[in-house]
Amino acid sequence: MLELIKQPWPWYIAGPLIGFTVPALLILGNKSFGISSSMRHICAACLPAKVPFFQYDWKKEIWNLVFVLGIFLGGIFAAVFIGNPSTIKVDETLLQELAVYGITDFSSLVPVDIVSWENLVTVRGLIIMVGGGFLVGFGARYAGGCTSGHAIMGLSTLQWPSLVATISFMIGGFIMVNWILPMILSL
């Protein structure tokens, strides 16, 4: 059984499992799927300030915090106990393109040449990790939800704003990967 969990699952298994999460949450508890709202719940629980945005009954959303904790702990469990020790397989064309930018170490789940403590204190590292983290947080708040909330929950409930947000996420991703990231990696 453990060997089955270690292998990547095909899209026609993993996709429906993720997709069935939405109706299960709606039917079983009238809950909406999304991850970015958990940061608001944490702030509402921890900040005693009278900020109107955090003045709501966050305890009704404790299930969301437990869900996010489960994702975090599941990731740790997977990395420690069922991680694949072999080198990550990357397409040869992409390897050649990334080598131009000095990215050659794929011994981890993320390229060590970009995501490491040593690289955090470089201009490139600050732009990618700190700037990128800020943009993801700002974008999720500005869009009224994150990619999982809009693309999985919003589209499945036929919400027009979620379609617009998901299309915008995709366009932004294509622009980032093809035009902006190569400029950042050139630094």
Taking only the tens place, the pLDDT of each residue in 69-122 is 999 999 898 888 887 777 777 899 999 998 998 888 887 778 888 888 888 888
Q: Which residues contact 54 (CB under 8 A, 6 or more apart)?
A: 40, 43, 44, 47
The pair of structure tokens assigned to 118 is 């040593």
Angle among Cα 110, 113, 115 to the nearest 5 degrees reads 50
Per-residue pLDDT, averaged over 16-21, amounts to 85
Confidence check: pLDDT of 142 > 90: no
Task: Supply φ then ψ for residue 24, to 5 degrees.
Answer: -65, -45
Cα separation of 47 and 56, whole Å?
12
Which distant-in-sequence residues (6+ apart) come within 8 Å of 79 by Cβ? 109
**Degrees, nearest 5: CA angle 37-130-185:** 125
Note the pLDDT of residue 86. 72
Are 67 and 180 spatial neighbours (Cβ–Cβ below 8 Å)? no
Q: What is the mean pLDDT of residues 145-161?
A: 86
Q: Give the model's pLDDT for residue 96.
A: 93
Position 144 scores a pLDDT of 83
* Section 25-36 average pLDDT: 84
Q: Is 64 buried (19+), middle (13-18) or exposed (0-12) by CB count in 10 A? A: buried
Q: What is the predicted pLDDT for the residue at 100?
A: 92
So what's the pLDDT on residue 39?
A: 83
Cβ neighbours of residue 26 closer than 8 Å, sequence gap 6 or more: 32, 157
* Gap between the Cα atoms of 66 and 64, Å rounded: 5
pLDDT tens, 47-73? 877 888 888 888 888 988 998 999 999
CA atoms within 13 A on the CB side of 15: 5
Of the two residues 52 and 34, the one the predictor is more confident about is 52
Q: What would the two tokens of residue 145 be? A: 């939800």
